[in-house]
Amino acid sequence: MMVRTRFAPSPTGHLHVGGLRTALYAYLIAKQNGGKFLLRIEDTDQKRFVEGSIENIINSLKWAGLDVDEGVQLNADGKVIQVGDKGPYIQSQRLGIYKKYSKQLLDDGHAYHCFCTAERLEDLKNYQQANKLPTGYDKQCRSLDQGEAQNRVEAGEVHVLRLKMPIAGETTFVDLIRGEVTFKNELIDDQVIIKADGFPTYHFAVVVDDHFMEITNVIRGDEWLSSTPKHLQIYKYFNWEAPQMTHLPLLLNPDKSKLSKRQGDVAVEDYINKGYLPEAMINFVAFLGWNPGTEQEIFSLEELVKEFKMEKINKSGAVFNLEKLDWYNQQYLKNLKNEELVEVCLPWLVKAGLVTGNEDKQWLAAALELEKERVKTLAELPEALKFLFVIPEYDGQILIWKKGSVDEVKKVLPALAEFMDTISVQDWNKDKMQILVGGWTTKNEFSNGSVLWPLRVSLSGQQNSPGPFEIAEVLGKDKSIKRIKLAIGKLS
RNA sequence: GGCCUCAUCGUCUAAUGGUUAGGACACUACGCUUUCAAUGUAGUAAUACGAGUUCGAUUCUCGUUGGGGCUACCA
């Protein structure tokens, strides 16, 4: 059987990093089995719909490299479209289907109309809580005469449809991560499956859709574990085969509570904007709860498809640890090839107004090379490289090496400027300069530090920066000499 | 409160009825170096607690404690 997994978010805002991980795992399972990965939108709660969130979800997945085979996608104009023959893939467009199958449940005696008011339900809950009883619907309308119920519905009385849970026995199922899980049926609520507004609840829609979209593996967050028996009961009533269930441990805040907005950024978009690379993000979230059992830390999406095993996922929640993300980002940044480096970094420099984008790519690559190992994110790049484009302002005092003196700098710098001016443009590259200046330093009996420190500071204007010859090469001869002369001026 | 579930360094995790409990991030020290970064080497640091089974338990069982999820006409 063809493996089919789906990611089925609600369009209530930006794609959450936890959602990204869920989507990734679902994607990996589909891909490693030669199956299909679908995207379905679960918008059964009209009140919570947020404009633009479908687009945001799709774009975030796309950024991460998780291509959707079937379901909701964006066309070239950025419009939401649907691809596949098992649609629609947006639940609000499937109301007729839910209606048909909820009616079947009703006709088969597996569901019933409920006319209880919100007030009664509220009172009931308060009473149960006050008396420390298990909370839940008391099944009052379950015993209503069917004909009478039908009359009340036809008279236009407000009502919902509830699922009849068995009142005895237990439901046991196998979760791929947790193993066997058992619930007592009597403690499971008669869940509302069709709301008063005619929309299905999650519990009903998810079962109907997963069935007709032929989903073979349900991969979702842990928060759904306890409602799984309800879903299984629906499969049972329809005599449908239930998919394999997998409930993922949650992502946690540093204080171990469920990952929330209050304690940091949770939207994938936030991390895009902060300048994290998609490969780093994917590698990072993949390792939150999973690892290959080897000592390999760096995994591309392709490698993950190959190596990922759902059975190796941890049972406990994982803290969303940004320090590790930074490290991953640095690793991927460092390993970028020149062309890739220019491609991913250029937009950030353009946005900062540092470059126009028409510069020589070779030169841009060399410039980026200067800082790629010292920044953690792309967002830090413009600030880090600014000194190349703008003549730096700095206090002349920092030209003095910690083991040197003002007098020494005053002696070294002018002589060095004069010497470097004799280096030809052809020789103006870091390796050659290193040799030439090194020779000059020795000949004049200066120490390396007393030459390199002030040279570097005069080129970068910073106490901490890339090496002097790397900068000089990128800057070019004219600008470099000019900066050394400006530095001399600061020593007076 | 009820139901479900989880528990190895600060964090992500590996391992197994017998190991000096391994790795990564972070942290510290040292090396390399003009600085920072990168890199190399070393180091600090964990089996929540209590019983039981066993020659032996971090691993199996039970309990305790603690965390999390659910307990909606939200997903």
| A102-134 confidence digits (pLDDT tens) | 999 999 999 999 999 999 999 999 999 888 888
pLDDT at A255: 86
CA angle A435, A439, A442 (to 5 degrees): 140
Report the CATH fold assignment for A94-248: Rossmann fold (3.40.50)
Domain residue ranges in chain A: 4-91+251-319, 94-248, 337-388, 396-489
A381 CB below 7 A from strand B atoms: no
Task: Answer whether A94-248 and A337-388 agree in fold.
Answer: no
Instruction: Please tell me the distance from the alpha carbon of residue A67 to that of residue A50, in angstroms, as a whole number.
Output: 23
The CATH class of the A337-388 domain is mainly alpha
CA angle A192, A195, A201 (to 5 degrees): 65
Instruction: Please tell me the distance from the alpha carbon of residue A306 to that of residue A300, in angstroms, as a whole number.
Output: 10
Contact A344, A276 (CB under 8 A): no
pLDDT band at A3 (very low <50, low <70, confident <90, very high): very high
Minimum CA–C1' distance nucleotide for A456: B34
- The percent of residues above 90 in pLDDT, for chain A, comes to 92
pLDDT at A153: 95
Q: Which residue has the tokens 């969303």?
A: A320
Catalytic residues of A: 261
The CATH class of the A4-91+251-319 domain is alpha beta
First vs last C-alpha separation in chain A: 81
ipTM of the modeled complex: 0.94
A259-CA/B67-C1' distance, Å = 14
CATH of A396-489 given 3.40.50.300, 3.20.20.150, 1.10.10.350, 1.10.630.10 = 1.10.10.350
User: Which of A 82-111 have CB under 7 A of nucleic chain B?
Assistant: none
A466 CB below 7 A from strand B atoms: yes
CA dihedral A212, A213, A214, A217 (to 10 degrees): -120
A223 CB below 7 A from strand B atoms: yes
Phi-psi category of residue A29: left, alpha or beta, with phi > 0 → left and psi -120 to 50 → alpha: alpha
Give the residue among A491, A3, A475, A444 at the shortest CA–CA distance from A215. Answer: A3
| CA dist list (Å): A40 to A6, A43, A70, A116, A430 | 7, 9, 9, 32, 54
Strand B nucleotides, any atom under 7 Å to a protein CB: 1-8, 10-15, 23-26, 33-38, 67-75
A310-CA/B20-C1' distance, Å = 33
User: pTM for the complete prediction?
Assistant: 0.94
A29-CA/B63-C1' distance, Å = 39
Q: Which residue has the tokens 């379901």?
A: A71
Q: How do strand A111-114 and strand A80-83 relate by DSSP bridges?
A: unpaired
Contact A284, A324 (CB under 8 A): yes
Residue A61 has pLDDT above 90, yes or no: yes
pLDDT at A262: 81
Instruction: Please tell me the distance from the alpha carbon of residue A399 to that of residue A411, in angstroms, as a whole number.
Output: 12
